[in-house]
């Protein structure tokens, strides 16, 4: 993936925004579809919305739910993500997915947050 990070990640204080571009085929000799770009971007929301520094913490998503009401338009997918973490290391991430024409979906993830060894 190529990345364009618009806001700092891991500093807390609200949603972080990044744009992604999947440029490598997921299946040999097949073009990347808009749906594949959307789901690949959705899977990154747990890191983009991190409330702690990703150099010191891991954010494992134990499940991923993606709701799309449209397909993205263009090669770049925007993710506006945030997360909440409980005192036991269990958290939740959520995100709004954007493309050139605006919002097209939402993401929800359950998280396990652990300090990186």
Going from N- to C-terminal start, the domains of the chain cover 2-115
pLDDT tens-digit series, residues 20-76: 999 888 888 899 999 999 999 999 999 899 888 888 999 899 999 999 999 999 999
pLDDT of residue 113: 94
C-alpha to C-alpha distances, 114 to 54, 55, 111, nearest whole angstrom:
10, 11, 10
**β-pair partners for 106:** 67, 96
**pLDDT at residue 7, rounded to an integer:** 86
Say which residues have a Cβ less than 8 Å from residue 50's Cβ, sequence separation at least 6: 9, 10, 16, 57, 59, 83
Distance from C-alpha of 58 to C-alpha of 116, rounded to nearest angstrom: 6
Query: What pLDDT does 76 receive?
Result: 96
pLDDT at 110: 96
Compute CA distances 96 → 38, 46, 60, whole Å: 11, 12, 19
- Does CATH number 3.30.230.80 belong to domain 2-115? no
Cβ neighbours of residue 14 closer than 8 Å, sequence gap 6 or more: 82
Closest CA to 83 of 55, 116, 44: 44
Q: How much is the pLDDT for 91?
A: 95
Q: Label residue 117 by pLDDT band (50, 70, 90).
A: confident
């Amino acid at each position: 993936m190529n990345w364009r990070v618009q806001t700092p990640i891991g500093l807390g204080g609200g949603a972080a925004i990044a744009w992604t571009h999947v440029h490598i085929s997921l299946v040999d000799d097949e073009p990347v579809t808009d749906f594949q770009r959307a789901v690949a971007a959705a899977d990154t929301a747990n890191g983009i919305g991190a409330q702690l520094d990703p150099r010191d913490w891991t954010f494992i998503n134990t499940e991923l739910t993606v709701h799309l009401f449209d397909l993205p338009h263009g090669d770049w997918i925007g993710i506006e993500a945030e997360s909440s973490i409980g005192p036991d290391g269990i958290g939740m991430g959520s995100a709004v997915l954007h493309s050139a024409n605006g919002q097209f979906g939402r993401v929800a993830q359950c998280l396990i947050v652990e300090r990186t060894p």
